[in-house]
Structure 1
Amino acid sequence: MILCIDCGNTRLKWACYAASGEMLRSGNLAHDALGELGALAHHLPEPERILLANVAGAQIGQQIRAALGAWASCLEEVHSTAQAGGVTNLYENPSRLGVDRWCALIGARSLVRNACLVVMAGTATTIDLLDAEGCFLGGCILPGMGAMRAALATGTAHLPLADGRLVSMPRNTHDAISSGILHAQLGAIERMYATLPCPSGNDKTCLISGGYADGLGGALVIPARLVENLPLLGLKALGLPADPGIAH
């Protein structure tokens, strides 16, 4: 059994996988509840490996290690590299790519082999290009939907923290803000999709994951598939590679 932990800016997600790849259990915790990780030892056998992708900083990393107690001895913190899990990292400095994006790309590659746009819709929205050969070509980062909404509410004198709908012709402020934010996100995703190289005759797709994925997926005009927690799938692929030749 392996335990995979994806610690983002606001929450920690975890999943346990059998050697066969079957998910045994999963859950999530807010940062102020990380101590509850220790309870896993009462419900699960000790894992052979624990893989951690952490973008929340060193202090949170220390809290995770402390919460794991005796299990911390098999904790491995994953970092972005030039190549792993069937993905080649073409970032100018591969180690500077956020590990959550890196694991999401590896997770995507474990699911599809055609050209793929990998979208993580969370505190930030990341939109990354993965070609059919498994090369990460680059990507962009923009504020997530919640961050955009909060920026308008806190940075202006009269705009509210909007709770509106996507409508074609907004006629109230809440709908105008919510529609504008969603159009901005959708437009960025669809423009990046248009730049994704695709060999003649082959399909390309878009995988979307993250807390705001549901709100985006159904509104896109490109082929899109919602996937629950791509970074965890990437960690699983690194911990349980299907192909013995894949580095991890």
Structure 2
Amino acid sequence: MILCIDCGNSRIKWGLWSATGWRAQGALAHGEVGQLATLTVDAPEVQKILLANVAGPALAAQIAALVAAAWPGRPLLTAASQPAAVGVRNGYRSPERLGVDRWCALLGAWARVRGACLVVMAGTATTVDSLTADGFFPGGLILPGLELMRKSLARDTAGLPLAQGQHVAQPNCTDDAIISGCLEAQAGAIERAWRRLANPVAPCLLSGGAAGLIGPALEIPWQGVDNLVLDGLATLASEPMPPLLG
């Protein structure tokens, strides 16, 4: 049994992976990190523990302490972005500077598609990353997430509300205009990146908390996929550990 932990900007996602696939998955707020220890009740047979962390060293230290107490003798293996792994080549100028969540999502996408695709993580930020048909990652985009866009207009302008509208083609009220504008901006960035793939059958894999809102606004083929980062960690777990994890 492998415990995979994705410590993101807003939430901690976890999953228990076995040879037959995911046995369980869940999500916690950062302040609920202590609840990870309750997994020992259902998963005492955990043999490997993998972490992808973008939430900073303090939370990583809390997780490390919990793991040490709950699974004595089981090392916590922390993922790091690499020049290459499990068939994916990292084209970032400095491969180690690529966010580990983006890297693991790319690995999870490649394990699923084994071909060209666009990997979109729609969370606190929206990341839009490309994979070519031969597993090369040439680069990608980072933009404010849907909620950040909505909140920034309310926070940094004098007359705009914290919008509660809906997406419509021709908004005729301010709330709808804000929500529609934010969604159109997200969809536009994603669609432009997809067109640069120049592969009309390449799917857009869309994951994250805002995926359900952004997906219907897209005019390209897309698939909603849960927990691509966890999928990438599970894929890494099948590889020799020393070259891939610290």
| TM bucket normalised to smaller | over 0.9
1:116 paired with 2:117, answer: yes
Provide the residue aligned with 2:9 in structure 1. Answer: 9
Which region of structure 1 is more displaced relative to structure 2, 145-154 or 69-78?
69-78
Structure 1 position 203, deviation (Å): 2.5
Please show how residues 227-246 of structure 1 align to structure 2 within 5 Å.
Answer: 227-240=225-238
Q: Is the 8 A contact 1:149 1:181 kept in 2?
A: yes
CA distance in 1, matches of 2:41, 2:203: 41
Code of the residue aligned with 1:220 in structure 2: it is L
Structure 1 position 70, deviation (Å): 4.0
Structure 1 position 52, deviation (Å): 0.3
Structure 1 position 231, deviation (Å): 0.5
Q: Is the 8 A contact 2:184 2:217 kept in 1?
A: no
CA distance in 2, matches of 1:41, 1:19: 19
Give SS of 1:76's match: strand
What's the TM-score, normalizing by structure 2?
A: 0.94
Q: Is the 8 A contact 1:12 1:30 kept in 2?
A: yes
Provide the residue aligned with 2:148 in structure 1. Answer: 147
**Structural RMSD (CA):** 1.4
For structure 2, the residue ranges without an aligned partner over 5 or more in a row are none
Which of 206, 210, 213 is the matching residue for 1:212?
A: 210
Provide the residue aligned with 1:184 in structure 2. Answer: 185
Provide, for residues 8-45 of structure 1, a one-character-per-residue CA deviation record: whole Å limited to 9, x for no partner. 0010000001123x111111110001011111112212
Structure 1 position 240, deviation (Å): 2.8
May I ask how many residue pairs the two structures share in their alignment? 240
CA distance in 1, matches of 2:187, 2:112: 23
CA distance in 2, matches of 1:65, 1:46: 18
Q: Structure 1: which 4+ aligned runs deviate by more than 6 Å?
A: none
CA distance in 2, matches of 1:57, 1:46: 28
For structure 1, the residue ranges without an aligned partner over 5 or more in a row are none
CA distance in 1, matches of 2:201, 2:220: 12
| Identity level (%) | 53
CA distance in 2, matches of 1:53, 1:147: 23
Provide the residue aligned with 1:34 in structure 2. Answer: 33
